[in-house]
Amino acid sequence: MSRTNDLGNRINEAYGRLSKGQKLLAVYITDNYDKAVFLTAARLGEMVGVSESTVVRFAMHLGYKGYPEFQSALKELVQGRLHAMQRMEVAYGRISQSKILQSVLGSDAERIHSTLEKIDEHAFDLAVDTILSARHIYIIGIRSCAPLASFLSFYFTLMFENVHLIQTSSASEIFEQMVRIGKDDVIIGISFPRYSMRTLKAMEFANNRSARVITLTDSVHSPMNLYSSCNLIADSDMASIVDSLVAPLSVINALIVALCMKKQDGVARTLGMLEEVWDEYQVYGNDEINYINDSVRMRYARIGDTDLNE
């Protein structure tokens, strides 16, 4: 294992044993590694709000002889993460542009097939039952995982009354939105490399409050599984400048369908009410494009009795 990966793994593995101040350092470094690499121990401590000695002890707790050795490992981590474009060039550099679409979609298809082979169906069924019995459902996904969390929240809101999508850019705001989470609730944490320390802290907080924790991540060895009782595994790795999230989205789709099948009557009633609301308030009628006599006409709201398109 290279030292580039070693530092990230050391932080993930040691997180549960860190002191409160050291956990703050872990979160800051994980989220701001490109800035932390240029900071002295004293300046890093000042940025996080801990003492310089806490920074040094943090480095030693991770297995480094001192801060200089830790900083060297951090430099390698930064260099490795800045080479994403180079990794993409290795994977696709010799492929003609006409083959890129076929290659990328083929890779995504392989990820779905691999996910289907490795996912634990018992864990999937447990996730469905856990969600159905929860009083409140919390969903968190940060950075590239935010669209997955938003998609899941959109459909869950059609099925359940108490769905909370955690949207935030700081750890403190996460806790403010989760302050009432308890033993009858569930949190679904979505995170793939690079793993989000804020997502991990949210799941730690939920676990400490005796809430049930479900993860959607890429491996049984993912740090996201530290506090979860139900792990849904989906492949996401792909040599590209962007992460492939097709397989995780497919797992989310399966989860939504499974829950819909369990709540068919309730979902049907909700959709029926929405259809009435959409029709009454012309939610879709005001901006849809209609094809009439081979011409495109934009349908806008009427002012008085005069159609703006006439």
CA atoms within 13 A on the CB side of 14: 23
Residue whose tokens read 């990966």: 5
Report pLDDT for 301. 44
In the chain, % of residues over pLDDT 90: 36
State the CATH class of domain 94-262: alpha beta
Report pLDDT for 299. 44
* Alpha-carbon distances, residue 134 vs 148, 183, 184, 186 (angstroms): 20, 9, 6, 6
Q: Mind listing the pLDDT tens digit for each residue in 71-91? A: 888 887 776 665 555 555 545
User: Domain limits of the chain?
Assistant: 3-81, 94-262
Report pLDDT for 195. 83
Enter the DSSP assignment of 220: T
Q: CATH: 3.40.190.150, 1.10.3720.10, 3.30.56.10, 1.10.10.10. Which one for 3-81?
A: 1.10.10.10
CB 251 within 8 A of CB 192: no
Name the E strands within 56-210. Answer: 137-141, 163-166, 186-190
Residues with Cβ < 8 Å from 214, sequence gap 6 or more?
127, 130, 131, 186, 187, 188, 189, 228, 229, 230, 231, 232
Report pLDDT for 287. 55
* Alpha-carbon distances, residue 14 vs 58, 60, 226, 236 (angstroms): 10, 11, 11, 24
Q: Mind listing the pLDDT tens digit for each residue in 174-185? A: 888 999 999 999
Segments of the chain scoring below 70 in pLDDT: 1-5, 79-98, 169-171, 237-243, 278-310
